[in-house]
Amino acid sequence: MIRVSGRDAIALVAPLLRTAIPLEAFPSHRVRRVAIVDAKSGERVDEALCTVMRAPRSYTAEDVVELSCHGSPALLRMVTLWIVAGGARLAAPGEFTRRAFLNGRLDLARAEAVALMISARTDRAVALAARALAGGFSDQVRALRDALVDLMAGLEVTLDFPEERVGHDVGAARVTVARLRADVERWLAAARHGRVVHDGITVALVGPPNAGKSSLLNALLGRDRAIVSPVPGTTRDVVDGTIAIAGVPVRLLDTAGLDVPRDAIEAEGIRRSRRAMEESDLLLVVLDGSILPDQRVLEETADRARVIVRAKCDLPAHPAAAAHRDAVAVSAVSGEGIEALLGRLAQEVEDRAAAAGDEGGIVASLRQFELLHALSASLAAGECALGEAPLEAALVDLKDALNHAGAVLGVDVGDAVLDHIFATFCLGK
């Protein structure tokens, strides 16, 4: 699809189309079939569906023309370049959404939700992004901002007419600020969980060589991703694969067995294993249950979030293997225990993703996260200052809080911030 937005959109596209009625006369928001022609030779190059959406009832609030062509990249490039030759300019990443924001169609929190929607990888992440896109979070922030404006106006009156007993009572103001801060803290907690739903978690499979890590990775992924062999030290590089567990993307990392390296390549593999371990949210410590368990990996991972896996449970268990009663016994050969392990992982995911359930779930960009933290801190300072410091001091903190809340919605944010946000979008959005 080729999308053209701006005051001259219709005039720029018209020369390329052969239509029953002139493009200028197309009814808005109706799909019509058109022929696309080479303006120079008059030759027909494609048949397309064309929609004109007139300002302000379009995504960007400008005149928009959309052409749905047959989709060959070569054709799309050709037609796009003709439109550019006529006087249009190629859009920057996220420019349509940026224009929608600048033209007041979306606030910045909702514009960012578009990017979150595009990058959502599971149903659950889509649901959270959809809620943000519909404005749920924006509405909450806007209500907080309105409450702050009211409060500050009242306090200003108190400051100006101290004798008159008008304006806000400082004690009541303090209660209000505490309540607003509690709201922000709740959003932060929800957003932390939302982040897990959106970004997913990383789980590293670690253990001694030959324990069955790669076989387990393949069994969990349901496909033959990593090389398996009876030779210890088969896996050298970190091998990854992603599955959705409880609606959350879980990236599994298979690593080289942790042992004393026999050569430089193994040493590098083990170094990479340790780095993968550090970067993971959870470890699956895989031990071969049919031999004497290696205590070193257990010791090394003792203070990490981990699930101990007793692999090769189709073989007779070594007597010492029973020592880990909470270990999940699995067999990559018979498939036994794989469901149980997935269930255990689902529980681990759920603990991180939805401590409070998805009710009122929030997914926020990192920018919004930082602003919410700053907002909470300013409200805390304001709450403290109210009653203990001169009223002017409290008002300074509340003004900061107001600015942070405004920045979430995009009030008075500069071009540099917008450049940064929209650079993460893909072209055409």
Kindly list the residues in this chain that would bind ligand GTP in the complex (CB under 6 A).
209-215, 228-230, 232-235, 256-257, 311-312, 314-315, 331-333
H/E segment holding residue 309: strand 306-311
Taking the least distance from each CB to ligand GTP, the nearer of 183 and 314 is 314
Taking the least distance from each CB to Mg ion, the nearer of 5 and 210 is 210
Closest CA to 342 of 250, 215, 236, 262: 250
Partner that binds at residue 312, options ligand GTP, Mg ion, none, CB closer than 5 to 8 Å by kind = ligand GTP
Residue nearest ligand GTP by beta-carbon distance: 257
Closest distance of CB 238 from ligand GTP, Å:
11
Sheet holding 328-329, edge to edge: 239-245, 248-254, 201-206, 282-288, 306-311, 328-329
Taking the least distance from each CB to ligand GTP, the nearer of 314 and 400 is 314
Taking the least distance from each CB to ligand GTP, the nearer of 259 and 370 is 259
Closest distance of CB 47 from ligand GTP, Å:
54
Closest distance of CB 35 from Mg ion, Å:
58
User: Residue count at the site for Mg ion (CB under 5 A)?
Assistant: 4
- The string over 21-54, giving b where at least 16 C-beta atoms fall within 10 Å of a residue's C-beta and e elsewhere, is eebeebeeeeebebebbeeeeeeebbebebbbbb
Return the structure tokens found at 182. 């509690």
Taking the least distance from each CB to ligand GTP, the nearer of 293 and 382 is 293
Residues 167 and 336: beta-carbon distance below 8 Å: no
Residues 321 and 340: beta-carbon distance below 8 Å: no
Partner that binds at residue 424, options Mg ion, ligand GTP, none, CB closer than 5 to 8 Å by kind = none
Distance CA 156, CA 18 (A): 64
Taking the least distance from each CB to Mg ion, the nearer of 293 and 382 is 293
C-alpha distance from residue 230 to each of 3, 213, 234 (Å): 56, 12, 8
Distance CA 37, CA 427 (A): 25
Taking the least distance from each CB to ligand GTP, the nearer of 280 and 331 is 331
Partner that binds at residue 315, options Mg ion, ligand GTP, none, CB closer than 5 to 8 Å by kind = ligand GTP
* Helices and strands in the chain, H and E counts: 14, 11
Partner that binds at residue 122, options ligand GTP, Mg ion, none, CB closer than 5 to 8 Å by kind = none
Closest distance of CB 211 from ligand GTP, Å:
4
Partner that binds at residue 58, options Mg ion, ligand GTP, none, CB closer than 5 to 8 Å by kind = none
Closest distance of CB 236 from ligand GTP, Å:
8
The position carrying tokens 């002139």 is 22
Closest distance of CB 256 from Mg ion, Å:
7
Within 202-241, which residues bind Mg ion (CB under 5 A)?
Answer: 213-214, 234-235
Q: Could you give the dihedral angle defined by the CA atoms of residues 280, 282, 285 and 286, in that order, rounded to the nearest 10 degrees?
A: -90
Closest distance of CB 219 from Mg ion, Å:
13
The position carrying tokens 């031990």 is 287
Taking the least distance from each CB to ligand GTP, the nearer of 188 and 338 is 338
Closest distance of CB 237 from Mg ion, Å:
10
Kindly give, in sequence order, each residue whose CB lies less than 8 Å from that of residue 331, ignoring residues fewer than 6 positions away: 311, 312, 313, 314, 337
The helix/strand/coil state of 427 is coil
Asked whether position 280 contacts Mg ion by CB under 5 A, the answer is no
